[in-house]
Each structure stands twice: as structure tokens, then as C-alpha cells.
């Protein structure tokens, strides 16, 4: 009976309540329940007979509709918002990640019949739009948490009328403009989180009325003016964060009144008066103190490391002086004192368990080798945070060492160094390299941006042992740490902002990579000119405290850079490769043991060697008998060091001592192309490999001719000067015969230097040198690659001895594909015909008829049609090859001296397929070919490899 009476009483109460609701309210409630039902399925039973105030139901549904939000299944179980978990008062249950969005209700109103919404949480759901006015229709709201969304627009003044708010959390949104003074009306506000928005202007004076404030997070905005002195009167404050704004100094001394403070973080004060640390004396409850780059001066007080509860102390980038205190509290585990003016010895409490950052290492103040007054280099390039690679013809050194919070590393070749200072605050795992699996746009070298070196504070790169003079500094950036802004996710609101100094002068202030590049995942290069006077260069990337610090994860901030390239502006500054001692190279090659001999070049033998660090190299021992003088030797070293490309052999260094001159190259395991084509029986070059060798060799030459600065003519392109790496990728070697030419010159009249069999007629006969000389040689090499035979072979029957002549014979008889190496089981006919056609174009008699190497590339890949060559070159038609070869050694008017003729005769008498590479370099006394001495030239195109 009692139970029945209670149930009857409840029914009567509900009936009376329904009668009190007006028809309009009934319509609103029905509409609200209808919309709420869209969010989640209704539950069968209710937890209470109290119902939500209809105006609040209407407001909540309107808000959720604007935000495209839906209630989760744990609340709104009856179609009424205040049901299920919405009735719990447990804050932990309310903030459970699965309960999002979430509300909390208080149903104690009107004798427990009316519920009002007191908490609203929409966290990290990427909701967008403005903050709606309907929030005012939730008058009992005391908790509003809308962090990590994409809400945009100005912070509305009506928020100041939500008088019951005790917590307002709007961090990590796209809210901009000034703080409305009306926020000062929130008399009960205890926690304010407005970090990582785009707010600006000065802090309103009305904030002085917020006497209940305990927590203020306002970092990562653009607030200006001075930090108001009235904050010292808000004595309930326990946390105050003002990092990454544009405040002016000094820090108000009134903050010393905030004796309840446990966390104080202020950063990035550029202008105004300096501050001292005197106000810290009374803040005995601090657990973390961050005052980075805030114009602090004076002595570092001894008591600061003895604050009883202090765990983290960050005072870097200020003007503090004195010594590090001799005592510290047991709780203090992390200290950053970098880039101040501290002196004296380290205290005894410094040990391996303490993370201590001391002042930055300076080249002129520390004991690492700057090579002052002993310059060795004129360039350096670094792949920041990643492996060595070649991009745009630049060889970038590896920089993948693990940097810690206070680290200094010198590269293995002692050409550059890097230092890092700083700890990422509140990041459990300290990572100083960022990897990116996507593709960066706006560049033809996206791999260069797959890694970036990161720093939470100060990142410095030093060029060491540089020649004094003017340099161009290129810095490569791409923001790969945030998603696209178009995603309209709160994670896309991140801003990486830092400063760039070169040689101590600030070149970029508040540099935002994504803003400057026009978006994330886009490459941007910044070029600077600077002067080196002390044989070293410093590039300093510095985080002054601006930008976001918690997007997309906590502790994401600080400078990032993908690559650095430094090169001289003046041609008079020549690179100086790394030098090796003769004893070092002697040991590496086992005293130049014949078993390590790789081959014999025009200037001496080449040996395989293993350096003390295990690196395998090729050591070219220049013979004293060679005609290469010191100037030529220096030219070879300088050009190879300065000009680097994926299809050019890299020079590691040299040895010069007395008559001993050696070059140290990278070692390529598959040796030279001629060795692979007709010397090494166990290495089979199929058609795709041969075509790739043609194409990549063309790209290497195109770089020398068209992209390198200064431009370079190789002058000795031949199969033995094309080396193959482990993947059979070709690299052009032997730049000892190269000469630089000026853009304004159409040719250089020079003594012929090169290898017979590959020489262009105008060069062999008149010394007329342009890049078209290399084009001719490439045409010969291309034919060698596809035929698998050298350009001349005396073992063959007449008509096939000379490759070019035989090729033209087949062309005239429409048998071009008969040129192909018979060992090729399969080949691409279209590619083969393109290579043959390109070879014919390249070996035209007139240089003007030959294509550029960039056009050669376009024809090989099929982007440009290969032109037809119908006329046999004149150098092949002016006389009979059979007659010339028969009486070659009887010629007395050729360019060869007696010794050269004997050498050549010896080659012809050999039974092996290998013939000697006859080099026309250093023939000081022999007359040049005259235009009418065609017979001598014919022999020059027919002999040698």
C-alpha cells in the first residue's frame, strides 16, 4: 500500500507539472525531444521524473545543431538531456573521454522537478563555427570547456554575462581579436584557459575584478603592452602562464605577492625595461618557473635553486650573470640556464641524473676546432636530421645523430658542427628529429624534407675552417608537423614561430614556416648573404617563446629546419677538400698492393683502400711521369669538391706532399662502364639497366653544362670514366681534364685534352671547346652501351672496326636494330631506336647540329621527338677507312710524336679486347691538326676507350 501511495503521489506531481507548462512550452519541449532523439536512440526507462528546463533544452539543441554535435549514448537516455550520466556529479565521469560531448545537470530545483544544465564540455571534436548566443540561455552554466575545436571569430562580449561561470576553457581554437572588457564581470571565475588562440591587444583593466582567479593560461597569443600590475593583487592565483606573447618589460614586481603560485611561466619579452629575479624570493610554493627570454639581468640569486618544491627551472636566453648556486633542493631535476653570462665552476650537485643546460657553445670561446687562420673549405651542406643525400646537384652530409638537451656534435670530416640547447616542456619523450611520411610540394626534391631537425630552444649550426669571403646561405624549410588548415581541425591551428640569426645578426623574426610557405607540407627556401672573416660561420635558430606549444601534442614548438647549404658567392673562393696523409693512404691500400689495383688511368693507377674508420675509397695515385701540373691537380680537386650530383663521383679529399699527389674518391663497387660492358663476364647488363645508364649519364652531363655554377665542360667523357655503384647507377668520374667556362663565352680555344675515339672533330682539329664536345663523346658512349663493344675493335672485319662508321652503314641499310648487343635477350624497341637516334644527333660533325644534354634527356624519355639524321657526317665520308688504317703508322704529319706512335702500335698488336686509352693531354710540342689533315683525325676517332 505504501508503494502504491508513493507511485500515486508521483503521478499526481507529474500531472500538475504538465498542467503548468503552457502550450508554447509544450511545443518547445516536443520539438526539443524530437531533435534530441536524432542524437541517440531513446532508452526505455528514465532515471528521474525531473525534466530539463524547456528553454535550456531548446538552447542546447540549437547549439548542437550549429555545431553538428550529437549526444552520446550515456546521457539523453530518455529524450530529455538531463538523464543518464548527465545526472552524476562526478567530475572524473563527466570528463571521461567516452563521454564527449557531455553535460552535467542539477535537478534539485522546484522540489526536484526541474533540471538545469550546469556543465558543458565539447572537447577535441573539431567543431566549427562561432560561439552561439544561445549559450546565454544556459544561465546556470558554471563550467564551459570548448578546447581543441575549430571555433572561430572574436570572443563574444556576451560571455561576460554568464555570471555563474567558474571555469572558462577556450584554448586551441581559432578565436581572435581583443579580450572583451565584459569578461571582468565574471566574479566567480576561478579558471581561465585561453591559450593557443589568436587573441591580441592589451589585457583589459577590468580583469582586476577577477578576485577568484586561481589559474590563468594565456600563452601562445599576441597580447601586447605590459603585463598588468594588478595581477599581483589576484592573490588566489596558483598558475599564471604568459609565454609566447608580445609583452613589454619589465615583469611586474607585484607578482611577488602571489605566494600561492605553484607555476609561473612568462616568455618572449623583447622590448621595454629589464627585470630582476628579486620578486621570486617569496614564491616558496613554486614547482615550475619558466622565465625565458624576458630581459632578466643581475646575478642569479643563490636561493633560487633552493626553493623547496621547485622541480623545473628555465631561465635561458637572458642576461643573468654570476655563478651557479652551490646548493639546490632535492626536488629540482631540470635546469635550463643556457645563453646567459654565467661564470665559475660547476657546483658539486651537478651529476648525470640532473638535466642541466649551460650556456651555449661559441666557436670563439670554446675549444672546438674553428680552424682559425687555417681555412680548409669553401662550402658545406647538411641534411638536417636525416641521411646523406644528393638533391639539386648538392651533396648534403648526414646529420642523424641523437641530440640531447645540451649537445654539441662535430661532423666526421670536421667541416661543420651542430649544438642544441633546451628541453621540450611537458613532453614525456624528447624527440629532436621530425619524420614525415608524406610528400612535400613546391619542390623537385621532396625527399630533402622528409626529416627536420627540431629544437625546443636554441639550434646552432657552425661552418668550420671556411675561407674568408662572401657566402650565400640557403635554409630549407617545410612545416610537416601540422595537418592542412583545410581540414578545419584544431590540430591545424599550430604555429611554429622562431627567429633566425646568421653571424649573430637576426635575419628573420617571428618566422612562421607554414605562413611564409602558404601552407603546411610546402617547401620554402630562404636565401641570405653573409661575410666570413674569422674562418667560421654560425647559423642560429632560436625559439623566443612564440607560437603554439600544445598543438597537435603537448611540447610541440621551437625551430625546425630540413637542410642547409652554404656556398661562396665569389669564384675566387675555392673549396679545399679534406686532406689525408700519405701514410694514411699507404696503410689504406696496403702499401699500394697490386692486388688492390682497380685500373690505370691517364695520370696513374687507381687503388682500392680502406680507411681507419672502415670507409672503402678509391685512391688515385698520380704518377710523377704524368704531364699534369700542380694547377691541373688543384683544378680537379676544386671542381669535384664544389660540383656534386647524384651522377657525379664524389671526391673525399686529397694528399699533397712533395712529388706525391693522390686523390681520394668514393669507391664504386662495380668499377667502370667499359669493364662492365666488355671486361667483366659475370656482370650482365640487361636492357633496362643499359637504358638507365644512358639516361643518368646524360643527367650528370646536363648538370655540368646547365646547372652547375660555374658551368663545366668535362672534355674526357668515355666509358672508362663512367663508374657504376652497387645498383649499377652511373657516376661520371675524372674531372682532371675539366675546364670552367664563362656564360658569356661561346667557346674556349685550348690545347686539345681528351681521349682519342671520343673527341669531337672541332676540338681535336682546332681546339674549339664548348659543351658540345661532351655531347659528341656522349653519343659515342651511348652506342658503346647498346652495342656492348668499344668504339673501335681491330679484331673485327673491315667495315665493323669503327663503331660510328658501322652504325651509319646499318642506318643506310635500314638495319639499325642490328647494332644491339646480341647478348640482350630482350629490349624495348622504341627505347633502342631513341638511343640510336640520339647518338646520331650527338655525333653530328657541326656542334650547332648537336642537341643540348637537357634536350637529350627529353628525347630519351620520350618527351621530345628524336629528329632524323639523314646525312652521314663529313668526318666519316671524306676518305676511305681501309686506306687510313693500312698506312696509319707511316703518317708523318699527324699530331702524335714518335713515342705516342709506338704506344699506339703496341695497342694494335694486342690480342686482348682491351685497348689503351690514348690521352691527348700535355702534348706541348706537337702541332695541332690542321683542317685539311682529315686522315689523322679519322684515326683519332677510331682508337682508344
Active-site residues: which are they? 716
Residues 6 or more apart in contact with residue 286 via CB below 8 angstroms: 261, 262, 263, 264, 280, 307, 309, 310
The Cα 251–Cα 420 span in angstroms is 28
CA atoms lying within 13 Å on the CB side of residue 451:
18
In the structure grid, which three cell numbers stand for residue 761, read together? 672533330
In the structure grid, which three cell numbers stand for residue 542, read together? 632560436
In the structure grid, which three cell numbers stand for residue 66, read together? 550549429
The Cα 138–Cα 265 span in angstroms is 34
Of residues 394, 403, 420, 375, the one with CA closest to residue 537? 375
User: Taking the alpha carbons of 270, 273, 276, 281 in that order, is the dihedral positive or negative?
Assistant: negative
The Cα 318–Cα 270 span in angstroms is 11
> Using CB atoms within 10 A of its CB, is residue 343 exposed (0-12), middle (13-18) or buried (19+)?
exposed
H or E segment and range at residue 91? helix 91-94
Residues 6 or more apart in contact with residue 907 via CB below 8 angstroms: 915, 916, 918, 943
Sole residue written with cell 640556464: 337
CA 485 to chain centre: 20
C-alpha to C-alpha distances, 439 to 129, 517, 521, nearest whole angstrom = 30, 15, 7
Of residues 757, 756, 737, 735, the one with CA closest to residue 748? 737
CA atoms lying within 13 Å on the CB side of residue 289:
26
In the structure grid, which three cell numbers stand for residue 511, read together? 618566422
The Cα 806–Cα 576 span in angstroms is 46
The Cα 672–Cα 680 span in angstroms is 10
The Cα 526–Cα 564 span in angstroms is 10
In the structure grid, which three cell numbers stand for residue 805, read together? 662508321
Residue 182 DSSP code? G
Whether 628 and 643 have beta carbons less than 8 Å apart is answered as no
Whether 701 and 778 have beta carbons less than 8 Å apart is answered as yes
Whether 694 and 853 have beta carbons less than 8 Å apart is answered as no
CA 292 to chain centre: 27
In the structure grid, which three cell numbers stand for residue 865, read together? 621527338
Of residues 139, 653, 713, the one with CA closest to residue 414? 653
Whether 774 and 830 have beta carbons less than 8 Å apart is answered as no
Q: What angle do CA 694, 797, 888 make, to 5 degrees?
A: 90
The Cα 48–Cα 697 span in angstroms is 82
In the structure grid, which three cell numbers stand for residue 478, read together? 617545410
Amino acid at each position: 500500500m505504501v508503494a502504491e501511495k508513493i507511485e500515486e503521489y508521483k503521478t499526481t506531481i507529474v500531472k500538475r507539472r504538465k498542467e503548468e507548462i503552457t502550450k508554447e512550452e509544450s511545443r518547445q519541449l516536443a520539438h526539443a525531444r524530437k531533435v534530441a532523439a536524432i542524437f541517440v536512440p531513446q532508452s526505455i526507462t528514465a532515471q528521474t521524473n525531473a525534466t530539463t528546463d524547456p528553454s535550456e533544452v531548446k538552447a542546447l539543441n540549437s547549439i548542437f545543431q550549429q555545431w553538428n554535435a550529437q549526444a552520446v549514448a550515456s546521457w539523453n537516455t530518455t529524450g530529455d538531456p538531463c538523464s543518464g550520466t548527465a545526472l552524476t556529479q562526478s567530475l572524473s565521469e563527466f570528463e571521461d573521454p567516452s563521454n564527449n560531448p557531455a553535460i552535467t545537470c542539477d535537478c534539485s530545483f522546484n522540489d526536484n522537478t526541474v533540471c538545469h544544465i550546469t556543465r558543458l564540455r565539447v572537447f577535441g571534436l573539431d567543431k566549427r563555427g562561432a560561439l552561439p548566443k544561445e549559450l546565454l540561455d544556459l544561465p546556470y552554466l558554471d563550467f564551459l570547456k570548448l578546447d581543441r575545436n575549430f571555433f572561430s571569430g572574436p570572443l563574444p562580449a556576451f560571455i561576460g554575462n554568464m555570471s555563474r561561470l567558474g571555469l572558462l576553457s577556450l584554448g586551441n581554437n581559432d578565436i581572435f581579436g581583443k579580450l572583451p572588457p565584459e569578461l571582468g564581470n565574471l566574479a566567480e571565475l576561478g579558471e581561465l584557459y585561453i591559450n593557443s588562440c589568436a587573441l591580441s591587444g592589451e589585457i583589459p583593466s577590468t580583469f582586476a575584478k577577477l578576485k577568484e582567479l586561481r589559474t590563468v593560461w594565456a600563452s601562445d597569443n599576441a597580447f601586447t603592452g605590459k603585463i598588468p600590475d594588478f595581477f599581483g593583487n589576484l592573490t588566489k592565483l596558483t598558475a599564471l602562464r604568459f609565454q609566447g606573447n608580445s609583452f613589454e618589460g619589465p615583469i611586474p614586481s607585484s607578482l611577488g605577492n602571489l605566494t600561492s603560485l605553484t607555476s609561473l611561466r612568462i616568455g618572449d619579452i623583447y622590448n621595454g625595461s629589464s627585470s630582476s629575479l628579486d620578486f621570486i624570493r617569496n614564491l616558496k610554493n613554486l614547482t615550475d618557473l619558466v622565465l625565458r627570454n624576458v630581459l632578466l639581468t643581475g646575478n642569479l640569486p643563490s636561493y633560487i635553486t633552493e626553493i623547496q618544491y621547485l622541480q623545473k627551472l628555465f631561465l635561458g636566453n637572458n642576461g643573468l650573470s654570476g655563478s651557479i648556486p652551490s646548493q639546490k633542493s632535492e626536488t629540482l631535476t631540470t635546469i635550463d640556464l643556457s645563453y646567459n653570462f654565467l661564470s665559475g665552476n660547476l657546483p658539486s650537485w651537478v651529476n648525470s641524473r640532473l638535466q642541466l643546460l649551460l650556456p651555449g657553445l661559441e666557436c670563439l670561446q670554446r675549444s672546438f676546432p674553428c680552424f682559425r687562420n687555417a681555412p680548409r673549405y669553401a662550402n658545406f651542406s647538411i641534411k638536417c636530421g636525416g641521411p646523406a643525400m644528393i638533391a639539386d646537384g648538392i651533396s648534403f652530409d648526414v646529420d642523424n645523430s641523437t641530440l640531447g638537451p645540451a649537445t654539441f656534435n662535430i661532423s666526421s670530416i670536421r667541416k661543420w658542427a651542430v649544438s642544441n640547447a633546451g628541453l621540450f616542456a611537458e613532453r614525456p619523450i624528447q624527440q629532436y628529429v621530425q619524420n614525415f611520411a608524406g610528400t612535400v610540394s613546391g619542390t623537385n626534391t621532396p625527399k630533402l624534407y622528409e626529416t627536420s631537425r627540431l629544437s625546443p630552444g636554441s639550434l646552432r649550426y657552425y661552418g668550420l675552417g671556411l675561407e674568408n669571403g662572401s657566402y650565400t646561405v640557403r635554409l630549407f624549410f617545410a612545416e610537416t608537423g601540422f595537418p592542412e588548415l583545410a581540414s578545419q581541425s584544431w590540430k591545424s591551428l599550430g604555429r611554429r614561430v622562431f627567429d633566425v640569426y646568421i653571424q649573430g645578426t637576426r635575419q628573420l623574426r617571428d618566422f612562421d614556416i607554414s605562413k611564409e610557405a602558404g601552407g603546411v607540407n610546402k617547401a620554402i627556401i630562404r636565401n641570405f648573404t653573409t661575410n666570413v672573416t674569422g674562418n667560421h660561420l654560425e647559423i642560429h635558430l632560436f625559439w623566443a617563446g612564440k607560437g603554439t606549444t600544445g598543438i597537435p601534442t603537448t611540447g610541440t614548438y621551437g625551430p625546425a629546419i630540413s637542410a642547409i647549404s652554404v656556398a661562396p658567392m665569389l669564384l675566387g673562393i675555392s673549396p679545399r677538400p679534406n686532406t689525408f696523409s700519405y701514410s694514411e693512404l699507404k696503410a689504406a691500400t696496403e702499401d699500394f698492393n697490386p692486388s688492390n689495383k682497380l685500373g690505370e688511368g691517364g695520370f696513374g693507377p687507381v687503388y682500392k683502400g680502406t680507411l681507419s674508420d672502415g670507409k672503402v675509397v678509391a685512391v688515385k695515385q698520380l704518377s710523377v711521369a704524368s704531364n699534369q701540373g700542380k694547377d691541373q691537380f688543384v683544378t680537379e680537386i676544386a671542381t669535384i669538391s664544389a660540383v656534386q650530383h647524384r651522377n657525379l663521383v664524389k671526391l673525399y679529399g686529397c694528399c699533397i706532399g712533395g712529388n706525391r699527389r693522390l686523390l681520394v674518391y668514393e669507391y664504386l663497387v662495380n668499377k667502370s662502364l667499359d669493364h662492365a660492358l666488355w671486361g667483366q663476364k659475370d656482370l650482365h647488363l640487361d636492357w633496362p639497366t643499359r637504358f638507365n645508364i644512358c639516361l643518368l649519364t646524360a643527367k650528370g652531363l646536363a648538370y655540368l653544362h646547365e646547372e652547375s655554377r660555374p658551368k663545366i665542360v668535362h672534355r674526357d667523357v668515355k666509358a672508362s670514366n663512367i663508374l657504376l655503384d652497387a645498383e649499377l647507377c652511373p657516376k661520371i668520374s675524372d674531372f682532371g681534364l675539366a675546364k670552367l667556362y664563362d656564360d658569356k663565352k661561346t667557346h674556349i680555344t685550348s690545347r686539345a685534352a681528351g681521349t682519342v675515339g671520343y673527341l669531337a672533330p672541332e676540338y681535336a682539329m682546332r681546339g674549339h671547346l664548348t659543351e658540345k664536345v661532351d655531347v659528341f663523346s656522349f653519343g659515342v658512349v651511348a652506342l658503346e652501351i647498346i652495342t656492348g663493344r668499344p668504339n673501335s675493335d681491330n679484331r673485327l672485319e673491315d667495315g665493323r672496326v669503327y663503331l660510328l662508321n658501322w652504325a651509319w652503314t646499318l642506318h643506310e641499310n635500314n638495319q639499325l636494330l642490328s647494332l644491339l648487343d646480341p647478348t640482350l635477350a630482350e629490349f624495348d624497341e622504341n627505347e633502342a631506336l631513341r638511343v640510336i637516334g640520339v647518338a646520331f644527333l650527338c655525333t653530328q660533325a657541326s656542334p650547332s647540329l648537336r642537341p643540348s644534354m637537357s634536350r637529350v634527356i627529353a628525347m630519351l624519355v620520350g618527351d621530345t621527338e628524336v629528329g632524323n639524321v639523314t646525312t652521314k657526317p663529313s668526318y666519316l665520308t671524306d676518305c676511305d677507312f681501309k686506306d687510313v688504317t693500312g698506312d696509319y703508322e707511316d703518317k708523318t704529319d699527324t699530331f702524335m710524336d714518335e713515342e705516342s706512335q709506338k704506344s699506339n702500335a703496341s695497342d694494335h698488336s694486342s690480342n686482348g679486347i682491351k685497348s689503351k686509352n690514348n690521352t691527348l693531354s700535355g702534348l706541348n710540342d706537337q702541332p695541332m691538326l690542321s683542317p685539311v689533315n682529315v686522315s689523322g683525325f679519322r684515326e683519332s676517332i677510331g682508337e682508344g676507350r
